[in-house]
Each structure stands twice: as structure tokens, then as C-alpha cells.
């Protein structure tokens, strides 16, 4: 049974620690909306790269932001990312986008713009959103906040496998360096850095399978739904 009061689940954590996989599966099992905030930052980055926007020129950044239309579309249990009417779902996962995304995500104007886009996604329907600042900035009142982490070598190995299976030519070392680079920028930037919310539950999935991790978090959400029902909120 679904609670009537919409529930927001915020999943934050380091690069490539399985947030998106878990968030997508969780939303599917619970019939919640799934939103991948990282995909929005990646789509903005793709646009900036294509238009050769100088990241340190605020005028250029603002002009570009005014010309971006983003859309996350749930299709067949998957999430498509559309940028100005073009499906960029695969393109935004390429390494050249990963290499620039954290610089773009550190820009205040970009974060302010995407904050609006993300908050507008919370409607009458319960939602799972993953990212870096969801539990701290985007939805500070989320009923469940997860802070995900895993051994950096395991994270790099998983992402390397994922990329090579998709046909991307890269090396384990390159992937490891990219994750370390992004983690550093994401945790040290001035604008809403990646930090564990005080009331977040830490889930280290280094030794957990995807299924085990999903069951663990699913149990947490179900407990919240049950408690809401018992207290007459549902």
C-alpha cells in the first residue's frame, strides 16, 4: 500500500558508488518517480562543451543556461535525458563529459538553475532522487536520506566494466583518476559540496550485491511508509 503523503528518498554519495542503479530499482519497486540529478549536470555540461562556453565567464554561462531545456522522461522503467529536444541519454555518459562535469557542477549559477529544476520534480507523487546535495540542499526535509559509499577501487572497477561493456575505449586507470578528480571537486567546492547530511544513514556497498543493497534500502522505505500509516498520516 502506498502512503498518501508523498515520500522523498534522497540518495547522495561519491562518484560511481551505485546510487543511480539503486535509486532506479527502488523507484521501480515502489512505483515512485525516479530522478537522476547527475544526468541534469551532465546534460548542461554537454551543452557547454558543444557551445564552447568558457566556464569562468559568468556572462557566457548565464547566456547558455537561458538556452537550455532539460527533460527527464521515464520510458519502460528507464530514464531518458533530453536536451533541447534531443535524446542525449548515452552521450552524457561518455568520458569526455565525465571529465568536465564536476567543473561545471561547481558553478553557482548552474547549481541555482538546476536547484529549481530538481525541486519542481517533487509533486504529488513520491520520489527517489540521487546526487550529491539532495539530502542537504535540494530536499533537506526528505523522509529518508542515504549516504552511499564504497571502496574507490571497487567503484572504479564497476564503472570501468560498465563503460567497456558499452563499447567505450578507456582504461581502469583513466576511470579511477576521473572518479578521484570528481570526488575531490565535489567534496571541496564552495557551493553545496558533497557532504553527509546529519540525519543520513550511511550505506557502504563495497561488499554488497545490487540485490542486497536494494533490499536493505527497500526495507527502510517500507518502515517509513508503515510508520506513516500507523500515525494516521496515510
Which residues sit at the interface with ligand CDP, rule CB under 6 A?
Answer: 15-16, 20, 37-38, 41-42, 101-102, 105, 131-134, 182, 186
- Indicate the residue among 113 and 133 with the shorter CB distance to ligand CDP: 133
Q: How far is the CB of 82 from ligand CDP (least distance, A)?
A: 16
- Indicate the residue among 133 and 225 with the shorter CB distance to ligand CDP: 133
Q: How far is the CB of 227 from ligand CDP (least distance, A)?
A: 27
CB of 199 closer than 8 Å to CB of 12: no
- Indicate the residue among 98 and 225 with the shorter CB distance to ligand CDP: 98
Q: How far is the CB of 155 from ligand CDP (least distance, A)?
A: 8
Q: How far is the CB of 204 from ligand CDP (least distance, A)?
A: 16
Q: How far is the CB of 2 from ligand CDP (least distance, A)?
A: 26
CA–CA distance, 39 with 131 (Å, rounded to integer): 9
- Indicate the residue among 38 and 74 with the shorter CB distance to ligand CDP: 38
- Indicate the residue among 5 and 173 with the shorter CB distance to ligand CDP: 173
Q: How far is the CB of 154 from ligand CDP (least distance, A)?
A: 13
- Indicate the residue among 3 and 170 with the shorter CB distance to ligand CDP: 170
Q: Name the residue whose CB lies closest to ligand CDP.
A: 38
State the cell numbers at 187. Answer: 567534496
Amino acid at each position: 500500500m502506498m502512503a498518501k503523503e508523498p515520500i522523498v528518498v534522497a540518495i547522495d554519495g561519491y562518484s560511481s558508488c551505485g546510487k543511480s542503479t539503486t535509486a532506479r530499482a527502488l523507484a521501480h519497486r515502489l512505483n515512485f518517480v525516479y530522478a537522476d540529478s547527475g544526468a541534469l549536470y551532465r546534460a548542461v555540461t554537454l551543452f557547454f562543451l558543444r557551445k564552447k562556453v568558457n566556464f569562468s565567464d559568468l556572462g557566457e554561462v548565464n547566456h547558455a543556461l537561458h538556452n537550455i531545456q532539460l527533460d527527464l522522461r521515464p520510458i519502460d522503467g528507464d530514464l531518458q535525458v533530453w536536451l533541447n529536444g534531443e535524446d542525449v541519454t548515452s552521450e552524457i555518459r561518455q568520458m569526455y563529459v565525465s571529465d568536465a562535469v564536476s567543473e561545471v557542477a561547481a558553478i553557482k549559477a548552474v547549481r541555482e538553475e538546476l536547484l529549481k529544476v530538481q525541486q519542481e520534480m517533487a509533486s504529488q507523487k513520491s520520489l527517489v532522487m540521487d546526487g550529491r546535495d539532495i539530502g542537504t540542499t535540494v530536499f533537506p526535509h526528505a523522509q529518508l536520506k542515504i549516504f552511499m559509499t564504497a571502496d574507490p577501487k571497487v567503484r572504479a572497477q564497476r564503472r570501468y566494466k560498465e563503460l567497456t561493456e558499452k563499447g567505450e575505449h578507456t582504461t581502469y586507470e583513466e576511470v579511477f583518476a576521473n572518479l578521484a578528480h570528481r570526488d575531490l571537486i565535489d567534496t571541496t567546492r564552495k557551493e553545496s559540496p558533497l557532504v553527509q547530511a546529519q540525519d543520513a544513514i550511511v550505506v557502504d556497498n563495497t561488499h554488497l550485491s545490487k540485490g542486497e543493497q536494494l533490499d536493505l534500502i527497500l526495507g527502510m522505505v517500507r518502515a517509513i511508509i508503515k510508520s506513516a500509516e500507523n500515525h494516521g498520516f496515510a
